[in-house]
Amino acid sequence: MPHKSTRLTFAVLATGAGVFSMLQSLIAPALPTVQHALHTSQSTATWVMTAYLLSASIFTPILGRVGDLIGKKRTLVAVLVTVAVGCLLAALAPGIGVLIVARVVQGVGGALFPLSFGIIRDEFTPSEVSGSISNLSAVIAAGGGVGMVAAGPIVTALDYRWLFWIPVAIVALATLIAVRYVPESANRAQGQVNWLGAALLSAWLVALLLPLSQAAVWGWGSARVLGLFAAAVVLFALWLAAEARSRTPLIDLKVMRLPAVWTTNTAAFLFGAGMYAIWSFLPGFVQTPPSAGYGFGASVTAAGLLMLPMLVAMFLSGVLSGRLEPVLGAKTLLTTGAALGAVACGFLARWHDERWQIALVAGVFGLGIGLAFASMANLIVGSVPADQTGAATGMNANIRTIGGSIGAAVTSVLVTGRLQPSGLPYDSGYTHGFTLLALLCLAAALAALLVPARRGGGTTGPALATAGTPRAEQQPVSPGPRG
């Protein structure tokens, strides 16, 4: 754990990143309640999730780069304030339109991930960096699990609006502590934000993710879906050209081509495809009534409790990875984490008739998530220059999200492609879906094997060796209170 003078800083970073991660999954189980309370259709209610996904995908790498340029603390505080405002707006939303806008505002919080990793790298001592990144990654991973587990009890005991009131209070407190105790880093990138690159990045991400999230409603062969996919290809090519020609690219493509970076990002893409699909479809599976030939007819709360082993396991394995990484290396941990995901999904495809089997699978997959999240972050941070930390870790998170969107979309096709007369999927649809997820996680493990090994098994290579300079040896940009 960080030493005493950095514990408050870590607490603020963990709180902000954990709340954002929780907001990703917290609202999903409550969507039917939101739909009923705001008198809207199911297709409109899904935009509560889509708007958040698109916003986070856009702002995560852009604001990560802004933090590299103008200061990570300054950007962190601005993002925390924005998340608090977004949660407040959502809690007060009189209709679905305002709630969707509020979710767009909340999505700005995606930048908390790269900003937090960058602050740890800049402000913590070299011996603290790897363990602190692992611990923060464990909190981020567990945040998604907390959302799944807590949504049902909160909605049942209070109201769906409390899914946002509670984060308002937590984020507001974290913001006040951040202003007072989080130091501003002396590490700054040179140049300015490449706004053309930012616009093109935003455009191709929207063109890619929007049809993936809405294809079930629009139809995979619809003109909107095919047109947006084509636009995504063109815009992606334009973005690559703009970044390659820019003197101050938003995302340095040379950094993205580093062996440790592209291999880790490939594993992140594949593992994300499996992870997000499990989060999306396993709760629905256990809530399916037994009359369908499978499922347990679980309530939202009971389904969340079946996910509890995943929450506990991914937090513990994420924390444990900080102790194992100096001995085994981040590459080994990433490979192991992805392999555990493959084992869990393979088991689930074969055996899913008893509740204990679901709980066991959730626990094993949780172990894999904790190991993979922590090792990915350490591999990226340890492989890129200090002034590229925010942008590089932001793109890693984005690539994982893109993989998750594709994995969830393809799994949805397999699960819902053929329905029973009751409108429920056949058991074979879930079996095929879980088999695909096992193959994706296995592919992620194989990609992880391509990650270059570091001497000594750790992630404190040349890029990181000078990044964790103790704060006493740095020249701060401006004087301010330090924790």
Tell me the three-class secondary structure of the chain, residue by residue. CCCHHHHHHHHHHHHHHHHHHHHHHHCHHHHHHHHHHCCCCHHHHCHHHHHHHHHHHHHHHHHHHHHHHHCHHHHHHHHHHHHHHHHHHHHHCCCHHHHHHHHHHHHHHHHHHHHHHHHHHHHCCHHHHHHHHHHHHHHHHHHHHHHHHHHHHHHHHCCCCHHHHHHHHHHHHHHHHHHHHCCCCCCCCCCCCCHHHHHHHHHHHHHHHHHHHHHHHHCCCCHHHHHHHHHHHHHHHHHHHHHHHCCCCCCCHHHHCCHHHHHHHHHHHHHHHHHHHHHHHHHHHHHCCHHHCCCCCCCHHHHHHHCHHHHHHHHHHHHHHHHHHHHHCHHHHHHHHHHHHHHHHHHHHHCCCCHHHHHHHHHHHHHHHHHHHHHHHHHHHCCCCHHHHHHHHHHHHHHHHHHHHHHHHHHHHHHHCCECCCCCECHHHHHHHHHHHHHHHHHHHHHHCCCCCCHHHCCCCHHHHCCCCCHHHCCCCCCCCCC
Confidence of residue 438 (pLDDT cuts 50, 70, 90): very high
Mean pLDDT, the chain, rounded, equals 84
Q: Which of 218-232, 326-340, 459-473 is the least confident region?
A: 459-473
Yes or no: domain 4-193+248-468 corresponds to CATH 1.10.287.90 = no
Q: What is the pLDDT of residue 308?
A: 86
Which range of 24-28, 62-66, 169-173, 460-464 scores highest in mean pLDDT? It is 169-173
* Per-residue pLDDT at 106: 94
pLDDT-based confidence at 444, cuts 50/70/90?
A: very high
**pLDDT for residue 479 is more than 60:** no
pLDDT band at 458 (very low <50, low <70, confident <90, very high): very low
Instruction: Give the residue-averaged pLDDT of 126-146.
Output: 83
**Domain boundaries along the sequence of the chain:** 4-193+248-468, 194-247
- pTM for this entry: 0.80
Quick one: pLDDT at residue 3? 46
What are the pLDDT digits (tens) for 326-367? 888 889 999 999 999 999 999 999 999 999 999 999 999 999
Residue 468 has pLDDT above 60, yes or no: no
Q: Is a pLDDT exceeding 70 seen at residue 323?
A: yes
The pLDDT, as a whole number, for residue 165 is 94
Which has the minimum average pLDDT: 139-148, 268-277, 357-366? 139-148
